[in-house]
Amino acid sequence: MPIKGGKVVKTRKGDVDDVIIYDKNPLDLAMEFEDAGLTHLHIIDLDGAKQRRVVNYPILEMIAKYTKLNIDYTGGISSDGDVRTVFEFGAKTMTLASVAIEEPEKFKSWLISYGANKIILAADALDNIVRTKGWKNNVGIDLFDHIRNFAERGVSYVKTTEIARDGTMLGPKFELYEELIAKIPEVKFLACGGLRDADDIAKLDEIGVYAVIFSKSFYEGKIQLSDLKKFI
């Protein structure tokens, strides 16, 4: 659930300045997910990603208070205070990208302090080269090398987005996930980007992807919550 200015939105190819605003209240939508049997919610703080600090924690707090969803929070987490805020306001896990590149020792200290079940590495890439800071910053690091480096340091969960597919509904880059799982089998991968329908989820499941993150395909009616029951 991408959030900007307190509203549910969707970016196109990760551009936080180019968003579609959906007529969905974040809490109502979260409750709708819970009523359908979903157990996990991924919140993306787009304001936080731009400002490099956690911004939309009141929405996190509200959803955590009124639902039992396991919330994963990402966007703008760059300090010990941000981490405390995210967990204190109700997130069960957090997903980190920029800090793993810019301050890897800090990332590893959080991994040790909170545990591999609480910290998810976001390794998002364009043409297999990692990007951070709202996907605008090309860090020049190979995606596979980046994930291997942190897998060797204890990371168990990795969210990977093929940026060129984000918000396009052209289909996930299946071959990327097949190669990641084959080459780094010790990691559980969360797929994001390009999802069209429930058939794509089924194919990713067959490949061995641990979880799938979707938004636009649901908001635009291509995925119905009833389609997801067999995957829960």
Complete domains list, the chain, with CATH: 2-227 (3.20.20.70)
Residue 22 pLDDT level (bands cut at 50, 70, 90): confident
CA distances from 204 to 2, 23, 100, 221 (A): 22, 29, 26, 20
User: In this model, does residue 16 exceed pLDDT 80?
Assistant: no
- End-to-end alpha-carbon separation of the chain, Å? 18
pLDDT, position 13: 58
Interval 43-56 mean pLDDT? 91
Interval 6-32 mean pLDDT? 80
CA distances from 57 to 17, 21, 103 (A): 20, 19, 23
User: In this model, does residue 219 exceed pLDDT 70?
Assistant: yes
Instruction: Count CB neighbours of 181 within 10 A.
Output: 16
pLDDT, position 12: 64
Give the separation between CA 19 and CA 47, rounded to whole angstroms: 12
- What mean pLDDT is reported for the chain? 91
Phi, psi of 90 (to 5 degrees): 120, -5
pLDDT, position 166: 82
Helical segments of 115-227, H only: 143-151, 174-183, 198-207, 216-219
Query: Do residues 94 and 120 lie in contact, with contact meaning Cβ atoms separated by under 8 Å?
Result: yes
Written as one letter, the residue type at 17 is D
Closest CA to 82 of 67, 100, 96: 96
Interval 200-216 mean pLDDT? 94
Residue 20 pLDDT level (bands cut at 50, 70, 90): confident
According to DSSP, residue 79 is labeled S
Residue 216 pLDDT level (bands cut at 50, 70, 90): confident
Closest CA to 3 of 66, 76, 56: 56
Higher pLDDT, 135 or 28: 28
Name the pTM for this structure: 0.90
pLDDT, position 182: 97
pLDDT digits (tens, 9 = 90+) for 135-154: 777 788 999 999 999 999 99
User: In this model, does residue 201 exceed pLDDT 80?
Assistant: yes
Interval 41-70 mean pLDDT? 94
Count CA within 13 A, CB hemisphere, residue 123: 29
Closest CA to 61 of 87, 79, 99, 81: 87
pLDDT, position 18: 64
Q: Which residues of 67-89 are buried (b: 16+ CB within 10 A; e: fewer)?
A: bebebbbbbbbbeeebbebbbeb
Interval 32-57 mean pLDDT? 92
Q: Locate tokens 């190669």: which residue?
A: 179
Written as one letter, the residue type at 194 is G
